Structure 1
Amino acid sequence: MKPEQLVDEAIAIATRAGNRIREIYLAGDFERVVKSDNTPVTSADLAANQIILDGLKALTPHIPILSEEAADIPLSERADWPCYWLVDPLDGTGEFIAGSGDFSVIIALVEHNRPVMGVVYVPMTGVCYYAVAGLGAYKRSGGMEVRITSRQIDGASEPSLRLAVSRRQDPQSVLKLFHQPRHCELVVMGGAALKSCLVAEGRADCYVRVGPTGEWDTGAAQIIIEEAGGQLMDIELQPLSYNERDTFENPNFIVVGSPNLEWDKILIGE
Structure 2
Amino acid sequence: MPITEDFSHHIDAVIDIARSAGQLILDIYEKKEYQAFTKSDETPVTSADIAAHKFITEQLSELTPDIPVLSEEDADISLEKRSQWDRYWLVDPLDGTQEFIARSGDFATIIALVENNKPIMGVVYGPVSGVTYYAYQGKGAWKIPDMSERVAIHSHNHDGQSSPIAIAISRRQDINRITSRMSSAWNYDLVPLGSAALKACLVAEGAVDCYLRLGPTGEWDTAATQCIVEEAGGRILSTQLEPLSYNERDTLENPNFIVLGDEGLPWDEILKIKD
Q: Which TM class, normalised by the smaller chain length?
A: over 0.9
Q: Does 1:202 align with 2:206?
A: yes
Q: For each residue in 1:114-168, what CA deviation from the matched residue of structure 2 results, as whole angstroms up to 9, or x when unmatched?
A: 000000000111100000011110000131210000110133x535200101223
Q: What is the alpha-carbon distance in structure 2 between the residues aligned to residue 269 and residue 6 of structure 1?
A: 37
Q: For each residue in 1:193-250, what CA deviation from the matched residue of structure 2 results, as whole angstroms up to 9, or x when unmatched?
A: 0100011111110110000000000000101110111100001111101000000000
Aligned to 1:75: 79
Q: Does 1:145 align with 2:133?
A: no
| Secondary structure of 1:109's aligned partner | strand
The two structures have a TM-score, normalised by structure 2, of 0.95
Q: What is the alpha-carbon distance in structure 2 between the residues aligned to residue 76 and residue 51 of structure 1?
A: 27
Which aligned pairs between 1:207-246 and structure 2 lie closer than 5 A?
A: 207-246=211-250
Aligned to 2:122: 118
The answer to whether the Cα contact below 8 Å between 1:154 and 1:261 also exists between their aligned partners in 2 is no
Q: What is the alpha-carbon distance in structure 2 between the residues aligned to residue 205 and residue 3 of structure 1?
A: 30
Aligned to 1:28: 32
| Secondary structure of 1:144's aligned partner | coil
Aligned to 1:95: 99
Q: What is the alpha-carbon distance in structure 1 between the residues aligned to residue 263 and residue 94 of structure 2?
A: 29
Letter of the 1:264 partner, please give it.
D
| Secondary structure of 2:229's aligned partner | helix
Letter of the 1:152 partner, please give it.
N
- CA-CA distance at 1:107 after TM superposition: 0.1
Moved over 4 A (4+): none
Q: What is the alpha-carbon distance in structure 1 between the residues aligned to residue 39 and residue 8 of structure 2?
A: 35
- CA-CA distance at 1:264 after TM superposition: 2.9
The answer to whether the Cα contact below 8 Å between 2:36 and 2:44 also exists between their aligned partners in 1 is yes
Q: For each residue in 1:163-204, what CA deviation from the matched residue of structure 2 results, as whole angstroms up to 9, or x when unmatched?
A: 101223333321212222311101121111010001111111
Q: What is the alpha-carbon distance in structure 2 between the residues aligned to residue 122 and residue 159 of structure 1?
A: 29
Q: What is the alpha-carbon distance in structure 2 between the residues aligned to residue 174 and residue 261 of structure 1?
A: 18
Structure 1, gaps ≥5 residues long: none
| Secondary structure of 1:152's aligned partner | coil
Percent of counterpart pairs with the same letter?
54
* RMSD across aligned positions (CA): 1.2
| Secondary structure of 1:48's aligned partner | helix
Letter of the 2:75 partner, please give it.
A
Letter of the 1:148 partner, please give it.
I
Q: What is the alpha-carbon distance in structure 1 between the residues aligned to residue 89 and residue 273 of structure 2?
A: 36
Aligned residues: 269
Aligned to 2:112: 108
| Secondary structure of 1:224's aligned partner | helix
Q: What is the alpha-carbon distance in structure 2 between the residues aligned to residue 269 and residue 124 of structure 1?
A: 32
The answer to whether the Cα contact below 8 Å between 1:209 and 1:254 also exists between their aligned partners in 2 is yes
Letter of the 2:153 partner, please give it.
I
Q: What is the alpha-carbon distance in structure 2 between the residues aligned to residue 37 and residue 168 of structure 1?
A: 17
The answer to whether the Cα contact below 8 Å between 2:106 and 2:194 also exists between their aligned partners in 1 is yes
- Judge which range, 258-267 or 39-48, deviates more: 258-267
Q: What is the alpha-carbon distance in structure 1 between the residues aligned to residue 227 and residue 273 of structure 2?
A: 28
- CA-CA distance at 1:269 after TM superposition: 6.9
- Judge which range, 185-194 or 243-252, deviates more: 185-194
Aligned to 1:60: 64
